[in-house]
């Protein structure tokens, strides 16, 4: 997704054990988590405290503001875990975006922009 703004909560890690409910565990690796690309080009790990929300600007907002606000390039990295450990990273993101018919630049609506982004990132992207 390339929203205007994304609200993000802190991640938790769950261990799955046969016959038991998943349990919250510490991160299995100090390198697991959300990373952003700084304006200087460095990749920096972001830690969102458990009682906080973070907000990230998206590419659509960058277009709407003609570059006054810039999108935050980001990725999630998964570090090494113990062999056989069934640990998942869980989080929640709320994507806030304009209506698909709303114009976000001279040449694009949010819908046409989203379609282009999907086609760039996914070989067989189809908008239904």
- 71 and 41 belong to one structural domain: yes
- 90 and 102 belong to one structural domain: no
Between CA 54 and CA 35 the distance in angstroms is 13
The set of residues, in sequence order, having a beta carbon less than 8 Å from that of 30 and lying 6+ positions away, is: 79
Domain coverage including residue 111: 98-128
Rounded to two decimals, what is the model's pTM? Answer: 0.74
- 22 and 72 belong to one structural domain: yes
CB 104 within 8 A of CB 58: no
- 76 and 15 belong to one structural domain: yes
User: Tell me: the pLDDT tens digits for 66-106?
Assistant: 889 899 899 998 877 776 678 888 999 998 887 888 888 88
List the alpha helices (DSSP H) in the chain.
59-64, 110-121
- 108 and 128 belong to one structural domain: yes
For the chain, how many structural domains are there in total?
Answer: 2
């Amino acid at each position: 997704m390339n929203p205007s703004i994304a609200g993000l909560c802190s991640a938790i890690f769950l261990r799955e054990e046969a016959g038991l409910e998943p349990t919250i565990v510490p991160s299995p690796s100090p390198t697991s988590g959300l990373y952003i690309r700084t304006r200087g080009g460095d990749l920096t790990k972001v830690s969102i405290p458990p009682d906080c929300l973070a907000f990230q600007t998206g590419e659509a907002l960058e277009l709407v503001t003609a570059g006054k606000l810039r999108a935050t390039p980001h990725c999630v990295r998964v570090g090494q875990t113990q062999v056989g450990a069934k640990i998942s990273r869980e989080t929640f993101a709320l994507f806030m975006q304009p209506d698909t018919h709303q114009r976000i630049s001279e040449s694009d609506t949010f819908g046409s922009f989203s379609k282009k982004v999907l086609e760039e990132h996914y070989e067989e992207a189809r908008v239904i």
